[in-house]
Every structure is written in structure tokens, then in C-alpha cells.
A and B are shown apart, each in its own frame.
Chain A
């Protein structure tokens, strides 16, 4: 069995009185595309947000490539910085920075978080945009993009800081079938480069074609054997 990049144990998360997660436990191996699947409101998005440290949780642990988040404790700013170098999150609604162009959206974090020079960040951004097929929109503002373009820019933005684990929330929701396959091919390419993808989706067909392992989420827990995620049905 290959090396574990993400280990989530006994995750309990409550918002005021509502229980969202009640003991979610699973692990993800390095490389490959893993999907969280389950009905709406089962906690898929919350799991992704908790891993990205956007959502405090009351109990449990998250170990990501040597960084640990523990329940009921605020992570130190050092730990938070380290964690966010290891994980990227592409939101269902892209949440691009409205005041910046496509290129600026992609170069902002490399320049200010990683300290990369403007020229270098820009070269890298153009490569990413080209990979994603949106280099022709480099000077556009987010409001001028179509849904699919915006999503690909959001992926480029997340990849620009080069996180080993890339998480995506419902990445196929705003894509037509041909775009979905393009996304699948992109994810396959990314995993070949050694990256790990964790995504949430309802899309059985996309899962069958492009996902290596599935985690079923129901009412805030992972059902089935969390140690060995089921292979997608043929």
C-alpha cells in the first residue's frame, strides 16, 4: 500500500446545535483521484473545508503530510501556514478575486505567499492557464468569464502555489459533458505528476470514468471500509 498523504480520524463537527460530522474517519493515499460521494447535506463540503482549516471542529484529528489539526484547538499560525502550503481548495463557486484580472488572480499568491518574483509568477501563471486552456482570457476580469472558464482559472490559481493535495468541491457541477471529460483528463495529468486529488461530487458517470477511489459519506460519517476505499464501479 502506498504512502498515506491524508489521515482523518473521528471528525466531529457541530455548528451551534446542528451536527454536521459525527465521527468521519478515512485516509487518502498519495497520488490518484479520490471522490467523496453522498447525498446533499451529508457533509462532503464540510469535510473539505475542515481539511483546509476553514471550519473549526470539536473532536478528532486531521493529519496532512506531517501537519496535524486537532479538535477543539486553534492551530498556530505556523501550523496554519504549513498546512496551507500542502493543500489547495477549489470552491464550487469559483470565488475569484473580482478586482483582479485572470493573470493577477493566479500570480497573487505565488508572489505574496511564496515570495516568487513577479516575472516568474507570471511565466508560471501563463503556463498554467495554457494547460487549462484559458490563456486567451489572461487579461479578462472574473465577471467577464463564463462559468467553465472561471472554474479553470480557479484551478490554475490553486495550482499556482503547487499544493501536493488539491481538493475540489463539486467540480463538475457547472460543466457540460465535454468539459467534464476535459477536467477528467486534466486531473489524470495532475496525478501523473504526483499530485493527489480529493473531490466531492454527485456525478456517478464522471466518477466511473476518472476517479480511482470513492468514499461514501452519509449523515456525517464515512460508510464502508474507510481504510480501503471502494474502487469505482465499472
Chain B
């Protein structure tokens, strides 16, 4: 029974035999044979998805060879693969996309500290839990004596990884305890921001918290658990049978101490695990999340209810996107005009410096620039996240805008400038009355284009903890376990913002009809 199940091709395709495909040509026969062999070889693999950015003890890549990974999730993947008579093959998938990668069949199972949420249980085929963790509060050493519980964090900024159970807990605590939840894209910067005072606490699971406590002096992890949940393996719902087989492998490893050996090796074994294993071996049902005082998660609601609940936050996030984009663009335009004027009208050092600036900003990724401004400069100047995001986007886009204006300024016919000079205008007046207005008309179409691009590029600032439309959509989708509704709403909102803008630009263009040649 088991053997038959496991021999089934992963995507439900019937096993192909060359004979069935045999048309006249021998060539086709050969191709079919090779294809069949390849397919057979694939069947013997267990492709598992993980994100080495999570690092040890989950999945850590060898710096010299990123294809080589180690960690307890790696060993669990090997354990399951062995139990299923397959060869494990690691696939790098970003943490936030693992569910989608499993759903579309890129990989068979996701193992990367995947949280056991009700949404995941409903939408995917999750394995039995293999590790139980506690959500814990980490604070600066100095606050260890007074900040113990969520209630103690009233009015304070509390960070966590976005799209996690911890983030859901914090969102609810925002209303209940009046704290401010801050979403991060990784689990390192919440702790570094805690140390420099951008945050007063971090809520994450004990594995992540203890790891940071060991490497970052000054962080105290409070012993009280806010909630309990687990790590599970994630498979597509259509692969429930493979999941069932994997569950048996995990149960066997719980019974014979294999899991205990693995977790001890990675220093994360604790007394919570035997209790979990005992219940699972007795085949008792284990709730996804426990220990929370009022566990009313979004996932417990119907899709419709969840959507209604999320629409206001999506609208608010769209507002953040719009305000951030408009302000960034305004600064970028102003700065771009200055840079372009400097490059057109000045010579020598200033022109050289401005050219260098433009090349630097255009030649390096905006994501890197945002990181440098927010985290890199934190020791010198501690900018609030929104200001850093605004500054980062504005400085980057200013480089692009300046190139547009420079081109537009240079496109205004020299003859008109000379005509203006002979009429007695000063250079400044020539720029303001003749060159500038015409350059602006020429620059309008590429500017509109850039503004629409900026609307969407603004989603990059989620790495600086700014929750804008794309990030909010991702949070929504994670909690719903599906991208269909959140993705459609998100797309509709971006279009609602960009279409009127394009229409306005078209009207202006028609009114002005930029002269050609």
C-alpha cells in the first residue's frame, strides 16, 4: 500500500511507458524513453523548500557553497525522505513564498520553521507538529524588571517578523493593550532595533529569541510564554497521502528518540517536546495555537469575514503607499531639478560630484540604499522608518528624475534660448520663463511613468518596517492561506491609484502638446 502510494508520480501523472508513445519514428521513441527515465528519477527525489536566510538552527547555508545546507530542518527533511525511500533535494525558496511554492508544485514539502497556523492547516496538508515553541517577549536588559507581559507594553513599539503568529498576536494586542506592532521582514533587525531603542520589545518564538540572546549582549528573553505553537512540514492539499506517510515517519522518530537527538544536537531541545510527542503518539488532536487568552485569529473566520476585517487595513496601507509615493516624488522632483540644473549650468567640481551622485544612485539597488539609510546609518542618525523610507525613495528617484530633466533641458532648442537672451532676459529668467516650462512639458510623460513605477517600488520599504499596501496584502494572504482575494484587492487598489494619475498626465499632455523638433 505504502509502496504503491510513494511510487505514484508527484503531480498525479500516470507513469508513462515508452511503448505507449511509440509512433513510427525511432527518434520519438528515444525521446520518450529518456523522458520516462527522467520522470522516474524525479520520483525518487523529495524536493523540500527552505530559506537559509532563517539561518541556524533551522536551515543554514554553507557560505562557500550555498547549495550545502545544515540545520535541524535539514535533518528532518533527510529523515522524512529516508522514511519515504527518496533522496532529499534542497530548494531555496524565500520564507514568505514557501506555501505558494508548495502549492504550485515547485517543491514537495516546506520545512523551514513553518508555523502551525489554523490557516495553514485549512489550506494545505500540514504534517503533525515536530517541535513546539513558545512566543516570548525579549526586552533590553535594563527593562527586564518591568516589562514582562503584553499588558506591560502599553504605548510601546513592539517588533516581530511580519506574517507570523507573533505578528497576529501583536495586532490584536494593539487594540487590547494599546501597544504598537512593528512588522519586520527578517528576525535580526527587530533585535538590533531593540538595542538601539527603536523598539521596546520583540515578540518572536523562543528558538529565534534564544539564538539572538546568545549573540547579542543586552537582550533579555522573558521566561513567560504568551502562546504556544509548533513547527510543521507543509505539503499541498493534493498530497495528503504523502503527508500521512511523512506523519508516520515523524511519529516513529518521536518514539525512538531520533527527533530528540536532532534537537539536542542543535541545542533547542527542552521539556516542552516530550509532552507534545506523548500526545501525538497517542494520536490526540493538538490545537495549532494554545495558551493565548483570546485566540480569535483571522483564520477562524470565513474567507468573507476575514476579507471584511482586512479591507480597512488594506485601505489604510494603500494610504501609506499613496502618501509615501507622493511625498517621495515631490522631493525627487525638486532634488532632480536642482541636480539637472547643476549639471547643465555648472562646470567643474560641482558637475562632477552631481554626475557621481546620479551614477551611484542609479547603479546600486534601491533596496540596498534603503538598508543603508535605515540600518546602516542608525549609529549616526536614527531616522524614523517612514522618514527613512521617504528619504531613500526620494534620493534614489531624484537621480532618475534629474536625468529626465537634464535631457529635457538640453532638448529645448538653443535658438530659443539665444532669442530670449537677446531680448534682455537674465539666465535665471531664461530658465524660469522659456527653458524650464518647455523642458517640463517634455519631461511629463517619462515623469508620469516614473511616478507609477514609484507607486509600486514603494513596496520595497516594507524592509524598513513600513507596512504599505503590498506588505499588508502579504500579511492578509498569510493569515488567509490564499493569495486570490488579497492579491485581487491589492491589484485593484494599485490600479485605482495609478489610473487617475495616468489620466491626469494625459490631459496635461494634450493641453500642452509638447512641441516636436
Contact = CB atoms under 8 A, between A and B. Distances in A.
B441 interface: yes
Contacts of A99: 437-438, 441, 512, 515
Nearest to A98: B515
B433 interface: yes
Interface stretch (B103-111, B130-138, B415-423, B490-498): B415-423
A143 B422 contact: no
A77 B430 CA distance: 14
B422 A81 contact: no
Interface stretch (A33-41, A105-113, A121-129): A105-113
Given A98-B515, A99-B512, A93 B422 contact: no
A161 B425 CA distance: 11
A217 interface: no
A17 B481 CA distance: 75
A109 B429 CA distance: 10
Interface in A151-207: 154, 157-158, 161
A108 B426 CA distance: 13
B418 A98 contact: no
A181 to B, nearest CB: 26
Nearest to B427: A77
18 contacts: A54-B418, A54-B421, A54-B422, A84-B424, A88-B422, A88-B423, A89-B419, A89-B422, A91-B419, A95-B413, A95-B419, A96-B416, A98-B416, A99-B441, A108-B423, A109-B423, A109-B424, A143-B515
B422 A98 contact: no
A89 B421 CA distance: 10
Contact of B423 (A53, A93, A98, A158): A158
Contacts, number: 68
Interface string A1-29: 00000000000000000000000000000
Contacts of A98: 413, 416, 438, 515
A113 B428 CA distance: 12
Nearest to A110: B423
Contacts of A91: 415, 418-419
A130 B299 CA distance: 78
A157 B422 CA distance: 11
B425 A109 contact: yes
Contacts of B61: none
A108 B438 contact: no
Classify chain B's interface size: 20 to 34
Contacts of B420: 97, 109
A95 B416 contact: yes
B442 to A, nearest CB: 10
Contact of A95 (B418, B426, B441, B512): B418
Contacts of A87: 422
Given A84-B424, A99-B441, A113-B425, A93 B415 contact: yes
Interface in A98-151: 98-99, 108-109, 112-114, 141-143
B378 interface: no
Given A88-B422, A99-B515, A158-B423, 8 more contacts: A84-B423, A85-B424, A89-B419, A97-B419, A108-B433, A109-B425, A112-B425, A161-B424
Interface string A30-63: 0000000000000000000000111000000000
Closest 4 CB pairs of A and B: A95-B415, A98-B515, A109-B423, A113-B424
Contacts of B424: 81, 84-85, 109, 113-114, 161
B452 interface: no
Contacts of A143: 515
B91 interface: no
Contacts of B422: 52, 54, 84, 87-89, 158
A77 B429 CA distance: 13
Interface in B151-176: none
B156 to A, nearest CB: 55
Interface in B489-514: 512
B361 interface: no
Contacts of A88: 422-423
A77 B415 contact: no
A98 B416 CA distance: 8
B245 interface: no
B415 to A, nearest CB: 4
B441 A84 contact: no
Nearest to B414: A95
B434 interface: yes
Chain A CB count within 10 A is highest, among B416, B429, B512, for B416
A145 B419 CA distance: 18
Contacts of B512: 99
A93 B415 CA distance: 8
Contact of A97 (B421, B426, B429, B434): B434
Chain A CB count within 10 A is highest, among B416, B418, B423, B437, for B423
Chain A CB count within 10 A is highest, among B424, B426, B437, B515, for B424
B515 A112 contact: no
Contacts of A96: 416, 419
A208 to B, nearest CB: 29
Chain B CB count within 10 A is highest, among A89, A93, A95, A97, for A97
A112 B429 contact: yes
A85 to B, nearest CB: 6
A145 B509 CA distance: 21
Nearest to B441: A99
Contacts of A142: 515
B511 to A, nearest CB: 11
A112 B434 CA distance: 12
Nearest to A85: B424
Interface in B383-411: none
A111 to B, nearest CB: 9
A161 B423 contact: yes
Contacts of A85: 424
Given A98-B416, A143-B515, A157 B423 contact: yes
